[in-house]
Structure 1
Amino acid sequence: MRLVILGGGESGIGTAILGKKKGYDVFVSDFGKIKENYKEILVINGIVWEEEKHTEDLILNADVVMKSPGIPDKSPIVKKLIAKGIPVISEIEFAAPFTDATIIGITGSNGKTTTTMLTHHLLKSAGLNVGLGGNIGKSFAWQIADNKYDSYVLELSSFQLDGIINFRPHIAIITNISPDHLDRYDYKYENYIDSKFRITMNQTEEDYLIYDADDEAIAEWFKTHTTKAKLIPFSLTKTFSEGAYIKNNKMEISINQEEFTMDTEHIALEGKHNMKNAMAATSVAKLMQIRKATIRESLSNFQGVEHRLEKVLKIQNVQYINDSKATNVNATFFALDSMNTPTVWIVGGVDKGNDYNELMSLVREKVKAIICLGVDNKKIIDVFGNVVDMMIEVDNMNDAVRMAQRLSEKGDTVLLSPACASFDLFENYEDRGNQFKQAVKNL
């Protein structure tokens, strides 16, 4: 069996190692450059590879192709493979049959990283032998090749779910859905929504789907679609006999006739959106029979995720917060919503078709100044130019942070929550967040 892997990044290398171990004839092809450490691993494992090109003769003879999530379906080589009827799948689809571990799959436009990390933290703290992978950390395929975990918590992007055929998580979570990556879905929101719901398409009556019952897009999908999985909703406003909700500042969860309650003030994560992430993760913990005391302790000591509403420093009584992971409007909505002080907001980058009007009421209420950090800030200026007292454009992080310090006074918050991708001025959102943290430390 010939396995061709398009893309020599983390998921590609992991798939190559697992494929080789399972007796496939493996070939890795990357249209860009492969990192040196990954090349060494390929050489050590005797895996043939190429970079900066796709040699068609070596690719179009594949029995199966694993495509890295970053490569769009529209790319010429992928179109040729599909035309030849060669299956093009994601790493998750390739790897899953080689493990009998319990799989918890988590998707959504926002909150999926926090929910994934928190779920993993809950299970690991309870002593379970659990792996963490998918869109974060070490490749799922690589872990299956090297380790023997009893369960996996996987963060799954819509691109990874686009490449599944039989993949079936025992427990699936959809944290929420808001317009994102529409450039990859022919600018049709319904295509993107369908893509997220692929997480439940192979689930049976023995499986579970945990979802946000307050989410409009999810509610719309359920009007015309069904899943066989048992449904476990969570909500900030509704109550359920089976599901999770917040009532009188208590998180209440009822699953399989088992009750769990906890005061929200004891949960380490702050903000309404994080209450949802906590309800989703705790629902998993309940399904996995984790003891109540362990769940309470884990929820109260969880540290959160880097670049997601991360408190950096307080300088002259001004709190600096790094929310660089907010790459769309919905994520920034949550960030602004959780601000309790006058806010200097650093925003901008590569816009994925954003509608900033959704933020208007929050900006009027909370934001005293806006610092635009992007190559093209026209849209942001057009929307908010008349709403805030102060609007400034900068083209690097040091200037953004220095300007923010000038515009802020005691008791204010400086919030980096860009609502955009980072590729105009930074390598990725991590680079953007790290530059912010460094600039704050240099003040």
Structure 2
Amino acid sequence: MNSVQQNSETNTNKHYLVVLGAAESGIGAAILAKRKGYTVFVSDGSTIKPHYKKELIDNNIEFEEGTHTEAKILAANEVVKSPGIPEKNAMVKKIREKGIGIISEIELAYRFKGDSKIIAITGSNGKSTCTSLIYHICKTAGLDCALVGNIGYSFAKQIAEEPKEIYVAEISSFQLDDIQHFRADIGILLNITEDHLDRYDYKFENYINSKFNLIRNKQSTDYFIYCKDDEVTMQYLSNHILPTNSMPFSMNQELQNGAWIIGDQMMIKALDEKFEMSIYDFALKGKHNQYNTMAAGIASVILNIRKEKIREAVTTFKNLEHRMEHVADVRGIEFINDSKATNVNSTWYALESLEKPTILILGGVDKGNDYTILEELVKTKVKAIVCLGIDNTKIHAAFGAMVPVIIDTDSAALAVEESFKLAAKGDAVLLSPACASFDLFKNYEDRGTQFKEAVKAL
């Protein structure tokens, strides 16, 4: 029995659904619910963007912005909460106190997916790239598929407007927090590092448990793909029963099933299939992307995609915008936009993949960063650090003794200008901030776009 039925006595309409938050996931949930016969009310405490407001009006969905009408919200049988809204939100607390069920958009989407398959990818780092690569492989193979979830297009809206046979979904911990029955046919957990701890009472174990919600409802016919080299993942699995149909991937050892790299060869062994490919043929470079490619390769074999199609897709994939994106070469200096690196581990992966002397642009809103994991790479690869943020004290303290030049800037244009002065022919200028962006920018996309515009203006 779902929570709509359980809470029916609180409202004469058994399908009165309130959606909190009117961004991509909230709008998608509202549209799907409306088309499935729910009475829907959308409430956003901030201003709703014009294009989202138009979608609500076009679909005849009642909404409010800039406020929360408590009586209307607390009359709901069920609430869909946008992933950006934390549990400590005052309205969320009132909903919980009244015993009204709260679900995520992906849970609502799951109810109406029909017989379609879900490939769900989560992890602290690399999930957007891995999700996009799997989607690219599926498209190359001619499968009827959609790219959905945290990567930018609402899962619920896709089901409402153009259902597919396969959904390749990037799933965040926030989305997994409010699932009930959601499960993936193929679930991929890339890695777990400390991130978003402000949302998890600063307890790493709470964040870890959230990630493992990915397999909470796993059935015997589902597959679980995980990184055998990730210490946090393996520590958790050592205290839990490993699910059936588990497929690990590793760079450190040959495996009975799954994927591994020995020397320059990737090997995949799954479902009595064997697949081999040189890492030099991967379109994606860097150690972290070898992990992404192994995970994507296993999923593709499980989907019975032909080897030649997997090989073709892996060699033709184009990297995502704002993720190790080559912007331009200016007087022999390469400019790279990795604005999506909003935590220290992402920046580690970025630096690890570079072979050139580097001017590193760091900074923004610090989320409790521990910069010690970057020390060895900074010592060996970084010529100078250009800080891009309002408060750069922590960066100066962490690297002041090991980098000869650290300067402060407060705009993308100034950061690019100073980096250009510090760089020489053959160097790289890498924007990989290791921090959130909202001190100086709207989001990481805005930061990356301003960086690219500044480079092109040189």
Match of 2:389 in 1: 374
Letter in 2 for 1:84: K
Match of 2:251 in 1: 236
**Of 404, 423, 429, which residue of structure 1 is paired with 2:419?**
404
Cα distance, 1:271 vs. partner?
Answer: 0.2
Once the two structures are overlaid, the 10-residue window that deviates more, 64-73 or 36-45, is: 36-45
Give the SS at the match of 1:336.
helix
Cα distance, 1:229 vs. partner?
Answer: 3.8
**Of 382, 397, 400, which residue of structure 2 is paired with 1:385?**
400
Match of 1:307 in 2: 322
Match of 1:49 in 2: 63
CA deviations on 1:354-381 (whole Å, 9 max, x unpaired) are 0001100100010010001110000000
Give the SS at the match of 1:121.
helix
Match of 1:395 in 2: 410
Match of 1:7 in 2: 21
CA deviations on 1:308-340 (whole Å, 9 max, x unpaired) are 111111111111110000000000000011110
CA deviations on 1:269-296 (whole Å, 9 max, x unpaired) are 0000000000111111100000000110
Match of 1:120 in 2: 135
- Counterpart Cα distance in 2 of 1:382 and 1:138: 40
Match of 2:3 in 1: none
Match of 1:210 in 2: 225
- Counterpart Cα distance in 1 of 2:413 and 2:446: 13
Identity %: 54
Match of 1:273 in 2: 288
Give the SS at the match of 2:229.
coil
TM-score with structure 2 setting the length: 0.96
- Counterpart Cα distance in 2 of 1:17 and 1:10: 11
* 1:337 matched to 2:325: no
CA contact (8 A) 2:224 2:243 kept: no
Match of 1:145 in 2: 160
* 1:179 matched to 2:186: no
CA contact (8 A) 1:201 1:227 kept: no
* 1:108 matched to 2:119: no
Aligned length: 443
TM-score with structure 1 setting the length: 0.99
Match of 1:130 in 2: 145
* Shift in CA distance, 161/227, structure 1 to aligned 2, threshold 3 Å: farther
- Counterpart Cα distance in 2 of 1:192 and 1:56: 30
Cα distance, 1:136 vs. partner?
Answer: 1.6
* Shift in CA distance, 227/23, structure 1 to aligned 2, threshold 3 Å: farther
* 1:93 matched to 2:87: no
- Counterpart Cα distance in 2 of 1:357 and 1:228: 34
Letter in 2 for 1:320: F
The answer for unaligned runs of 5 or more in structure 1 is none
CA deviations on 1:125-171 (whole Å, 9 max, x unpaired) are 10000011010232111111111200100000000000101101000
**Of 193, 204, 229, which residue of structure 2 is paired with 1:189?**
204
Letter in 2 for 1:188: K
Letter in 2 for 1:176: N
- Counterpart Cα distance in 2 of 1:228 and 1:220: 15
Letter in 2 for 1:232: M
Letter in 2 for 1:319: E
* 1:69 matched to 2:83: yes
* 1:24 matched to 2:38: yes
Letter in 2 for 1:399: L
Give the SS at the match of 1:29.
strand
CA deviations on 1:185-236 (whole Å, 9 max, x unpaired) are 0000111011000001100111111011110110110111235341110111
Give the SS at the match of 1:131.
strand
Give the SS at the match of 1:40.
helix
Letter in 1 for 2:107: E
Match of 1:290 in 2: 305
The answer for unaligned runs of 5 or more in structure 2 is 1-14
CA contact (8 A) 2:362 2:432 kept: yes
Letter in 2 for 1:278: T
Displaced runs of 4 or more, over 6 A:
none
Cα distance, 1:258 vs. partner?
Answer: 0.8
- Counterpart Cα distance in 2 of 1:248 and 1:224: 32
